[in-house]
Structures are given as structure tokens and as C-alpha cells.
Amino acid sequence: MPESEDEKDVLGNLPRRRPGIESKRRVKARSSKQKSSAARPGRTEPQPHSEPGELEQLARASAKLAAEAAGVGLKLAGRTIGGLGMVVGRR
């Protein structure tokens, strides 16, 4: 996509893609990470739980209760405003 002189990026003339050469720091970090993971073969990644825990069930129940309470509050507020509108409209 050719750019004209009017269309300049906010950050200036940065390259559109990453360079093909990795920095020495990244290569060193990757190799040390591979060595440390190879040193501990018994370690496995934790598996995600398929069943919700007690805390998650409590949070869902609390959110449902709060949503129901908000719905009831909105219904009452609507009825109150409707009633006030009827009283003011009669005068």
C-alpha cells in the first residue's frame, strides 16, 4: 500500500514487519527456558476444571440475584413514574 506525503503514521517511519534476526537477549532467554523445562520432566501444566467450583457457583448465584433485584427495582420505578404521570395529568 503506497503512502503519500499526507498520510504519515503517528509514530513516524517504523518498519511494517519485524526484522528477521532475533536479538541475543531473546535467543538466550528462549534457550534458558528450554533448559529449565527439560530439567524438570515431571512437571506438567495444570488442567482446567470442567466443573465449576464452589466459588464460581457462588459468584454466578450472586450475579443472578443482583440482576433479578435490579429488574424488580426497574419495574417498581416504572410503575411509580407512571402513577405520578397519571396524578400530574389529572390536574
Query: Model confidence over 2-50: pLDDT tens digits?
Result: 555 555 666 677 666 676 787 888 889 888 888 877 666 565 666 665 6
Q: What is the greatest pairwise CA distance in the chain? A: 86
Query: Model confidence over 67-83: pLDDT tens digits?
Result: 999 999 999 999 999 98
> What residues contact 43, with CB distance under 8 A and at least 6 apart?
37
Q: Is the pTM of this model over 0.85?
A: no
SS3 state at 39: helix
64, pLDDT greater than 60: yes
Cell numbers representing residue 11 in the block: 509514530
Cell numbers representing residue 57 in the block: 457457583
Q: What is the pLDDT of residue 49?
A: 59
